[in-house]
Amino acid sequence: MLLDENTRVLVQGITGRIGSIQTKYMLEYHTNVVAGVTPGKGGMRVHSVPVFDTVQEAVKETGANASVFFVPAPGVLDAFYETVDAGIRLIVVVPEHVPVHDVMKMKEYAKEKGVVALGPTTPGLLVPNLGKMGIMPASLFRPGRVGIVSRSGTLSYEFAGILSDHGAGQSTVVGMGADPVVLTNLVEILRLFEEDPKTEGIIIVGEVGGEQEEMAAAYIKAHVTKPVAAYIAGRLSPQGKRMGHAGAMIRGEKGSWDGKVAAFREVGVDILRSPIEAGQWVKAKGLTGA
Amino acid sequence: MLLDENTRVLVQGITGRIGSIQTKYMLEYHTNVVAGVTPGKGGMRVHSVPVFDTVQEAVKETGANASVFFVPAPGVLDAFYETVDAGIRLIVVVPEHVPVHDVMKMKEYAKEKGVVALGPTTPGLLVPNLGKMGIMPASLFRPGRVGIVSRSGTLSYEFAGILSDHGAGQSTVVGMGADPVVLTNLVEILRLFEEDPKTEGIIIVGEVGGEQEEMAAAYIKAHVTKPVAAYIAGRLSPQGKRMGHAGAMIRGEKGSWDGKVAAFREVGVDILRSPIEAGQWVKAKGLTGA
Amino acid sequence: MRLQEYEAKEIFKTYGIPVPEFRVVRDPEAALRAGLDLGLPVMLKAQVLVGGRGKAGGVLKCETPEEVLTFSEELFRREIKGLVPKELMVEKACEVEKEIYLGCAVDGYEGRPVLILSKRGGVDVEDVFRRHPEKVNKFPLPIDGGFLPYQARGLSKELGFSGEGMLSISKVIYLLVKVFYEYEALLAEINPLGVSSGGDSICLDAVLEVDNAALKRIRANLPNPATRIENPIERKGREIGVTYVDLDGDIGIISSGAGLGMCSMDIIGDRLRPANFLETGGGITEELLYRCMELVTMKPNLRAIFINVYGGINPIHEGAKGVVRFIREKGLKIPIVAKALGNRQEETWEILRSGGVEVVEETDTESAVKRLCEILERGRS
Amino acid sequence: MRLQEYEAKEIFKTYGIPVPEFRVVRDPEAALRAGLDLGLPVMLKAQVLVGGRGKAGGVLKCETPEEVLTFSEELFRREIKGLVPKELMVEKACEVEKEIYLGCAVDGYEGRPVLILSKRGGVDVEDVFRRHPEKVNKFPLPIDGGFLPYQARGLSKELGFSGEGMLSISKVIYLLVKVFYEYEALLAEINPLGVSSGGDSICLDAVLEVDNAALKRIRANLPNPATRIENPIERKGREIGVTYVDLDGDIGIISSGAGLGMCSMDIIGDRLRPANFLETGGGITEELLYRCMELVTMKPNLRAIFINVYGGINPIHEGAKGVVRFIREKGLKIPIVAKALGNRQEETWEILRSGGVEVVEETDTESAVKRLCEILERGRS
């Protein structure tokens, strides 16, 4: 899902320390990385991948149609517009600490242009044995039929690892991004999983705060036919100090562990109290095997 | 043209010194002034015209569908968006000294929303014996068949007065506005005159600087069938000190009296060397009478 | 980072939002001087970064010099939701006829700014939100500015104001939105905005929370967020670039990623008592994990440390070196259990084991916590 | 208002655009000190607000202290397109490999900002515009900002640069556009931008022209535009809010509206010699026309005054009072011909006639000028 045989990956910030090593890991996982971009470094090669000054050139020369970002946080907004304007419609924004006002602009632009964008602060996207865009450690993943969507990067690895150990592979693993505003909401990822013929069950890895899970519950009730389980991290996390009253108005009572679990339970989503329970769940639902 | 029997005029800034007296003059000319707006003064009346706090209310309560501005220059941008967003599609911006960057924004918004807007720094719009939006001194105008469009306010009065003296009335007199950027270009006004059945001849009152006249000449050649005469003020004006080179690039050789006159002559427009020649021109073209 | 009320008010004031005259003081004598200087009556307001300060007794009105002295002494001693104020605002008391609520916030789900207005504001505003949602207006704002004065006028009309009141409130709404954009705020709030019988508006309490990720490009002198943290370990965490939250247990936690950290805390919390939450973010180095060990062990009476990290973007083998170096240098004796998976995991395990760390090779946190419990049980028996 | 080169460069510098080190001096001794301080060679640049300064000899390179002294003495005396510089810039000379042109301007007809780039810049750039338009890139900008660094990179690639040169030029382009928006400029220009063999960029000459109508809201300390006007009558005109242009004839002109003013000037100019152009704008009061009379009569040897005004937005009857008051107070004897039409014209005529002004009732300026000629003929004979 999202990433397939026709995906031609561009790496932005490829000459940086992280961009370079992660490109190596992506190539080792047989991802079709066709180009890199670092302004001013056009003409270089990184792990044999040709580097360009601009996304436009990279697209023109290599037919890149998806991009993963390892650019510094203050440069993400600029790179995002550049990438969208060059015609790319799948973007993975790995960096953390991108200013929220930038993310809001990017989210609106993505919606306007029909772009699917993950992040910021995402480990990216991985389709086992096909490729990955981002930083997910490949050894934990196996091909299979369970879709995982996670707000947390490391917890997506944890769940994939547990599933793999229990004989249940993954169709696609999606890191949504851990920021208060993410470029693509959970509901939208669930829609993609519901439509994806290779996905037969879905695990949602959520956490306290925000209202992604509450909105997802409503969506699941109306539109999702596949079995869904959910884990919510932060059951015992101390409540943050409240800042002003506007949050209460925007979110009402949303955001708590209890509220999210109740919302999911009400629409028939199975609640996992600990990641390890995902192992039992896939067995119970017959989702093991490739 | 533009202003007709169905026009219901709103006056913005009606409680100000100029707004109030000009409203009186407009009413004396039997203009259908239905409402005024001055924020914070809702509920008042000015020369019996009801005043509202917002354009939205004024439109809702009185069906106003055209607006003339007497608001202070720094507030014009805000008032313009308010007026367009309230659904009004004909706006006359009388004030001078509106910042150019504001005018650029207004011009784009007008284009996007299909608004005809005159100014800034315009005397407005007058249809003899029907009404006026703006500050034109009514005594100089007579109904007839000649359309006048002028970059200069006072010269539009001069030409109307001369025509009236020579027995040639006016169909509509349009002040385009004297700023370096105007909300509606000359070409667009010429298009309206060409389409207007009540207009049988057109007088363009231009001046040195900018490229309105040059663009108009090209338009006339392709689209205007009615007789056209043009006067260009500033034949003897000393050339302004040149500021940088960008102007030369944008405008090339445009902007001079010679250039404008040559452009018009080339497409068959009659050149008036002095306003008084307009009297002879209307007689020669048979445009006298009502 | 949330600013103190007086910092927010100073910013609001530079934008032209009317605020009462005030002084900031650090002792009762200064409070008295400020009170006499401003003219009584005055409000004393504890400067603490928590909500519900008024209800918790952090705001007192003083009519006499004696009250200023006694009440300020009282406030400098009073704990408000766990925090004792170091500074008080002494503010001229204002007569107002109405109190309304104005807030400008990021709607995280929609990913856009939203303006929230309520014709009833003050300490009970959340009750209004809950019980009378019809009294509250929510207005989505354009993503990148472009909010215009006329829109503010329309909104202040909708709140039921006219004449001078409409003008003064719409001016405040417009300027609050401007602050919100120019400070890249997560929240800019005035609650309440007092409106006098003559229609004048005045900002009686102010909240401004800015995005730490945007601090460097905001054109203003803002304090270093680390200086805002009261707890010394949390402050130190902020300084080295990790998120540390102090808890009252005795099992230290180091994790990469907030989700994994919360998950570790939840699982440990079912059987043991976490001493902290610590997440490294994506910048692990040898030095960083050395410092994380330092942070976690600042807590007295620690029984054990639980490390839970993934090698995705993080070079966990580098981090392992820092852990082991710390153990060796400090001669740390308490049990340490680590789960470390992903890129270069075998190398990582080897390093950790060389420092005496108990490495769990299972993929799930549950098993690792079980191992921790076993070790602690064994130690006890 | 156009700023002096050094003022523009100071602003550009605060935005991060590299400019050579410089000093501003008002006498040759200061020039010498500055030259020695900066290190030779230096450029001496006359600070005059005209184009084509370089071709007119206003920029000189100095290799020795003696040259700094002699050349600066020379420049302080040299008239450049009618202006003698009061200030010189002493600027460190730079070695560059290429000179390109960057300009950001308002396209008046389209009503939008436009960025203009040419890979050949310098004093001959207008020749390039004329002869090699294919070497010039024009790029329409968004109306309300939103120009992004990546677009600047794309443009600097199109200019044929790569590597460090591409990066440094794109940074300058981006920052120049930022200055253009934030200063509400009519023109922001760097010509030339020098590019070194290592790819560094440096702004060698700078133009910044800001919109006087926006001055009050620009967040910066800019000089009062009136102080920029060399001619004392023109400066005084600016101070009272009218546009006065000094000419070399002897017939004073006062008109409402630039168009009518130019028309009056054109018609008068065919037979007589205008002493000035003066247009009042839409703010006529008794006081303003009194002051306009004062302005016009500052010119020695005036033969007559021609007044041409319309009562549209202007209360011309008020203005007439000012004219008459001036005539009476100063005992002005030269002929004054006035054409004054529109609202309250009869009242206006009566007032003017009471002061001995010859009022023309015809609607056309031609007739009024004819009357003026007749009166002057009569006076001569």
DSSP string for residues in A115-137: -EEE-SS--EEEETTTEEEE---
Nearest residue of B to residue C165, measured between CA atoms: B40
Supply the pLDDT for residue A241. 44
Domain carrying residue B47: 9-118
First to last CA, chain C: 47
- Average per-residue pLDDT for chain B: 94
Task: Find chain D residues with C-beta within 8 A of A82's C-beta.
Answer: 148, 150
Alpha carbons within 13 A on the beta-carbon side of A67: 34
Supply the pLDDT for residue B241. 44
The H or E element that residue B38 is part of is none
Q: Are A155 and C257 in contact (CB under 8 A)?
A: yes
Q: Point out the residues of A that are catalytic.
A: 245
Q: DSSP letter for D83, please.
A: B
Handedness of CA A56, A61, A64, A67 (dihedral sign): negative
Q: Whole-angstrom Cα distance, residue C355 to residue C98?
A: 66
Given an 8 Å threshold on Cβ–Cβ distance, is B140 in contact with D263?
no
Q: Are D276 and D247 in contact (CB under 8 A)?
A: yes
B91 and B41 assigned to the same domain: yes
Q: Enter the tokens of residue D48.
A: 């005059």
A54 and A169 assigned to the same domain: no
Q: Are B134 and B175 in contact (CB under 8 A)?
A: yes
The closest of A205, A251, A203 to A224, measured between CA atoms, is A203
B&D contacts, CB < 8 Å: 222
Q: Which of B118, B148, B176 is the last residue of a domain?
A: B118
Torsion of CA A53, A57, A62, A65, to 10 degrees: 100
Q: Whole-angstrom Cα distance, residue C259 to residue C265?
A: 10
Q: Are A69 and A91 in contact (CB under 8 A)?
A: yes
Supply the pLDDT for residue C314. 92
Question: Bridge partners of A154?
Answer: none
Helix axes B100-113, B76-85, angle to 10 degrees: 10
Per residue in A127-174, pLDDT tens?
Answer: 999 999 999 999 999 999 999 999 999 999 999 999 999 999 999 999
DSSP E strand boundaries for B151-247:
170-175, 201-207, 228-233
Q: Which amino acid does the sequence have at D227?
A: T
Q: DSSP letter for D4, please.
A: P
Supply the pLDDT for residue A239. 63
CA distance, residue D193 to nearest chain A CA (Å) = 19
Per-residue pLDDT at B66 exceeds 70: yes
Query: In which band, very low, low, confident or very high, does the pLDDT at B252 lie, cut at 50, 70 and 90?
Result: low
CA distance, residue C116 to nearest chain B CA (Å) = 21
DSSP E strand boundaries for C232-362:
243-246, 251-255, 276-279, 304-311, 336-342, 358-360
Q: Are D129 and D136 in contact (CB under 8 A)?
A: yes
- The stretch B164-183 carries a mean pLDDT of 95
Supply the pLDDT for residue D327. 97
| Locus of tokens 């960096």 | A95
A37 and A90 assigned to the same domain: yes
Supply the pLDDT for residue C16. 97
∠ Cα B70 D186 D149 (to 5°): 120
A107 and A143 assigned to the same domain: no
Per-residue pLDDT at B239 exceeds 80: no
Q: Are A157 and C341 in contact (CB under 8 A)?
A: yes
Q: Whole-angstrom Cα distance, residue B83 to residue B74?
A: 16
Q: Does residue B123 fall inside a structural domain?
A: no
* B126 conformational bin, left if phi > 0, alpha if psi -120 to 50, beta if neither: beta
Q: Does residue A233 fall inside a structural domain?
A: yes
Per-residue pLDDT at B255 exceeds 60: yes
| Locus of tokens 């470390």 | C340
The reply to whether the predicted model has a pTM over 0.80 is yes
| Locus of tokens 């199109």 | D158
B279 and B148 assigned to the same domain: yes
Chains near D with 3+ CB pairs less than 8 A apart are: A, B
Q: Whole-angstrom Cα distance, residue C20 to residue C192?
A: 13
Q: Are A80 and A106 in contact (CB under 8 A)?
A: yes
- D214–chain A Cβ distance below 8 A for any pair: no
Listed as ranges, residues in chain D with pLDDT below 50 are none
Alpha carbons within 13 A on the beta-carbon side of D162: 9
Task: Find chain B residues with C-beta within 8 A of C150's C-beta.
Answer: 39, 54-55, 78-79, 81-82, 85
CB atoms within 10 A of CB D21: 13
DSSP state letters, D296-330 = HTTSTT--EEEEEEEESSS-HHHHHHHHHHHHHHH
Q: Whole-angstrom Cα distance, residue D125 to residue A140?
A: 62
Per residue in B175-223, pLDDT tens?
Answer: 999 999 999 999 999 999 999 999 999 999 999 988 999 999 999 999 9
**Which string of b and e fits C134-168 if b means at least 16 CB within 10 Å?**
eebebbebebebebbbbbbbbbbbebebeeebbbb
B229 and B97 assigned to the same domain: no
Q: DSSP letter for A114, please.
A: T
Supply the pLDDT for residue A243. 42
Q: Whole-angstrom Cα distance, residue C89 to residue C5?
A: 8
Given an 8 Å threshold on Cβ–Cβ distance, is D109 in contact with B97?
no
Given an 8 Å threshold on Cβ–Cβ distance, is D157 in contact with A53?
yes
A43 and A85 assigned to the same domain: yes
Q: DSSP letter for D74, please.
A: H
Q: Are B57 and C162 in contact (CB under 8 A)?
A: no
B143 and B278 assigned to the same domain: yes
Q: Does residue A131 fall inside a structural domain?
A: no
Alpha carbons within 13 A on the beta-carbon side of C48: 25
Alpha carbons within 13 A on the beta-carbon side of D165: 20
The H or E element that residue C75 is part of is helix C65-77
User: Which C-chain residues 138-177 have CB contacts (< 8 A) with chain B?
Assistant: 148-150, 153-154, 157, 162-164, 166-167, 170
Supply the pLDDT for residue D80. 87
Given an 8 Å threshold on Cβ–Cβ distance, is C170 in contact with B39?
yes
Q: Does residue B130 fall inside a structural domain?
A: no
Q: Does residue A17 fall inside a structural domain?
A: yes
Q: Which amino acid does the sequence have at C214?
A: A
Q: Whole-angstrom Cα distance, residue B154 to residue B123?
A: 8
Mutate to test the interface with D, among B29, B101, B256 (most CBs of D within 10 A): B101
B141 and B105 assigned to the same domain: no
Q: Whole-angstrom Cα distance, residue D370 to residue A159?
A: 97
CA B89 from centroid of its chain's CA atoms: 15
Domains of chain D: 21-92 (3.30.1490.20), 98-214 (3.30.470.20), 229-380 (3.40.50.261)
Supply the pLDDT for residue C265. 94
Supply the pLDDT for residue B245. 61
Return the CATH number at B100.
Answer: 3.40.50.720
CA D212 from centroid of its chain's CA atoms: 11
First to last CA, chain B: 16
Nearest residue of A to residue C339, measured between CA atoms: A158
Given an 8 Å threshold on Cβ–Cβ distance, is C163 in contact with B77?
no
Task: Find chain A residues with C-beta within 8 A of D157's C-beta.
Answer: 53-54, 57
Question: Bridge partners of C178?
Answer: none
Residues found in chain C: 381
Q: Are D245 and B238 in contact (CB under 8 A)?
A: yes
| Among D149, D154, D166, beta carbon nearest to A56 | D154
Task: Find chain D residues with C-beta within 8 A of A39's C-beta.
Answer: 150, 153, 166-167, 170
Query: In which band, very low, low, confident or very high, does the pLDDT at A253 lie, cut at 50, 70 and 90?
Result: low
Q: Enter the tokens of residue D97.
A: 């490999």
Nearest residue of D to residue B231, measured between CA atoms: D263
Alpha carbons within 13 A on the beta-carbon side of A121: 24
pLDDT tens track of chain C, all 381 residues? 889 999 999 999 999 999 999 999 999 999 999 999 999 999 999 999 877 788 889 999 999 999 999 999 999 999 888 789 999 999 999 999 999 999 999 999 999 999 999 998 887 787 878 788 777 889 999 998 889 999 999 999 999 999 999 999 999 999 999 999 999 999 999 999 999 999 999 999 999 999 999 998 887 778 888 888 888 898 999 999 999 999 989 999 999 988 999 999 999 999 999 999 999 988 899 999 999 999 999 999 999 999 999 998 899 999 999 999 999 999 999 999 999 999 999 999 999 999 999 999 999 999 999 999 999 998 766
Q: Whole-angstrom Cα distance, residue A185 to residue A173?
A: 15
Supply the pLDDT for residue A242. 44
Given an 8 Å threshold on Cβ–Cβ distance, is A241 in contact with C143?
no
Q: Does residue A3 fall inside a structural domain?
A: no
| Locus of tokens 């004897």 | D333
Supply the pLDDT for residue B242. 44
DSSP E strand boundaries for chain C:
22-25, 42-46, 59-62, 88-92, 98-107, 112-118, 136-140, 185-195, 201-203, 206-210, 243-246, 251-255, 276-279, 304-311, 336-342, 358-360
Residues with Cβ within 8 Å of residue A166, at least 6 apart in sequence: A278, A279, A282, A283, A288
Q: Whole-angstrom Cα distance, residue A101 to residue B100?
A: 28
User: What's the Cα-to-Cα distance from A234 to each of A161, A263, C258, D280, rounded to whole Å?
Assistant: 20, 16, 9, 72
Q: Whole-angstrom Cα distance, residue D117 to residue D172?
A: 12
Task: Find chain B residues with C-beta within 8 A of D269's C-beta.
Answer: 235-236
Nearest residue of B to residue D4, measured between CA atoms: B243
The H or E element that residue B261 is part of is helix B257-266
A16 and A55 assigned to the same domain: yes
Q: Does residue B2 fall inside a structural domain?
A: no
Q: Which amino acid does the sequence have at C227?
A: T
B149 and B98 assigned to the same domain: no
- Average per-residue pLDDT for chain A: 94
Task: Find chain B residues with C-beta within 8 A of D310's C-beta.
Answer: 137, 153-154, 157-158
Domain count, chain B: 2
Q: Does residue A96 fall inside a structural domain?
A: yes
Return the CATH number at B175.
Answer: 3.40.50.261
Supply the pLDDT for residue D381. 62
Burial of C178 (0-12, 13-18, 19+ CB in 10 A): middle
Given an 8 Å threshold on Cβ–Cβ distance, is C162 in contact with B56?
no
Handedness of CA D130, D133, D135, D139 (dihedral sign): positive
CB atoms within 10 A of CB B6: 9
A254 and A142 assigned to the same domain: yes
Residues with Cβ within 8 Å of residue A151, at least 6 apart in sequence: A176, A177, A178, A182, A186, A205, A206, A207, A212, C259
Q: Whole-angstrom Cα distance, residue C318 to residue C320?
A: 5
Per-residue pLDDT at A212 exceeds 70: yes
Q: Which amino acid does the sequence have at B73?
A: A
